Structure 1
Amino acid sequence: MIRNAQFVVSNTDPKKCPKPDRAEIAFIGRSNVGKSSLINMLTGVKELAKTSQKPGKTQLINHFMIDDRWYLVDLPGYGFAKVSKDTKDKWEKMISSYLTGRDNLCGVFVLIDSRLEPQKIDLEFLNWCGEEGVPFVVVFTKADKQSKTQTDKNVKAFLNKMEDIFGDIPDYFVTSAEKGSGKDEVLQFVDELISEYESERTN
């Protein structure tokens, strides 16, 4: 349960992120995957992450302080269709240097649209995370937007692809920001990651 969530800072330079003095959990996904809605649902603060119908709204690394204990980070999406190659390259460089350079990053929640069949861009990004040793968890979004049968079918197809790539199935959650489903499970998992990080630091 999150009691307090406050915006801290936005920037384009991972070196200017807040001091890595506490656990950090990041959220990332393809443009328009429902990331802002999910963050707002988890924190219980409606306008914390700005939702937009226009994909690619998040173009910065956004840090939020949660309960004075850990940072929630809203990262720019990947796979923007409507930006120049130069801008896209800059974003990719920023995201990759953030993901590989933050010592206090305990987990990256990679959001996948449950309405779609497995997308190459998502699989490539997860493959990159695996190669770079970035600790990721998969979160399927928008589960309320179609029948449960269709959601289950798409989730299973995606997990099968993940098993082909990695040899096993990663931790995953199925969520709906509108219905609030998956919230408790995701927050429970976040809490476990943070507790583990904190106990390692004190030992």
Structure 2
Amino acid sequence: MPRLNYQTARFLTSAPTLAKCPPDLGVEVAFAGRSNAGKSSAINALTQQKALARTSKTPGRTQLINFFGLANGEECRLVDLPGYGYAKVPEQVKLEWQRHLAEYLQERDSLRGLVLLMDVRHPLTEFDEMMLGWADDKDMPVRILLTKADKLKPGAAKNALHNVRGRLREWEDLVSVQLFSALKRQGVDEVHRQLDDWLLGDETSSS
């Protein structure tokens, strides 16, 4: 099976709204999560680049939709969606972010899958369930990464994984779940296989 080289990822552009996004051609996978879920660190780990996605000690800095292209001769993109939750911004701004997120997820034809990141110690927040609801409406497959798995002992991390899978049983045809640690590079190969399935159009989905 063909494999994509995620180290070739390069920044393309940032967009504040769906209307300002690049042409809706090719294929892309979006990354979403609360502002403290470790989304930027995960993208950097998956692409083996230290600063492709900007990390910040102030959660919620990412207020734009950021696009990264893969140099594989096809129009394949990774998309970093705005972090949501802890940002110290007015409520009206948060509602605007939410609206743009919803428009992107519901109207972007080139979107093939959603990677939803959750801190393994605080999974399935209200925001996470909202994202799953949007994905369900669009019949969009979701890969949940339970991030910062290195913060828990192996037994506790496996229990958290089991609990999340149990709570998502009604969505098991659409949603898959795994443990992930950007620091330890745990789960990176699994995510790469899932991204390959989505971006290369492989009909077999990794579990």
The CA deviation at 1:128 is 3.2
What is the aligned counterpart of 2:18 among 14, 19, 41? 14
Mapping for residues 117-136 of structure 1, pairs under 5 Å: 118-136=124-142
- C-alpha change, 1:87 and 1:117, in structure 2 (3 Å) is closer
Greater alpha carbon shift after TM alignment, 16-25 vs 44-53: 16-25
Between structures 1 and 2, the one with greater helix share: 1
Partner of 2:116: 110
Greater alpha carbon shift after TM alignment, 186-195 vs 129-138: 129-138
The CA deviation at 1:166 is 3.1
Paired residues of 1:115 and 1:150 also in contact (CA < 8 A):
no
Partner of 2:182: 177
Partner of 1:196: 201
Paired residues of 1:162 and 1:169 also in contact (CA < 8 A):
no
Q: Which amino acid aligns with 1:192?
A: D
Aligned with 1:196: secondary structure?
Answer: coil
Paired residues of 1:159 and 1:169 also in contact (CA < 8 A):
no
Partner of 1:160: 166
Aligned residues: 197
The CA deviation at 1:168 is 5.6
Paired residues of 1:106 and 1:197 also in contact (CA < 8 A):
no
Mapping for residues 40-189 of structure 1, pairs under 5 Å: 40-68=44-72, 69=74, 70-80=76-86, 82-116=88-122, 118-163=124-169, 165-166=170-171, 170-189=175-194
The CA deviation at 1:179 is 0.7
Partner of 1:38: 42
Distance in 1 (CA, whole Å) between partners of 2:70 and 2:97 is: 25
RMSD, aligned CA? 2.0
List alignment gaps of at least 5 residues for structure 1. 199-203
Distance in 1 (CA, whole Å) between partners of 2:161 and 2:10 is: 33
List alignment gaps of at least 5 residues for structure 2. none
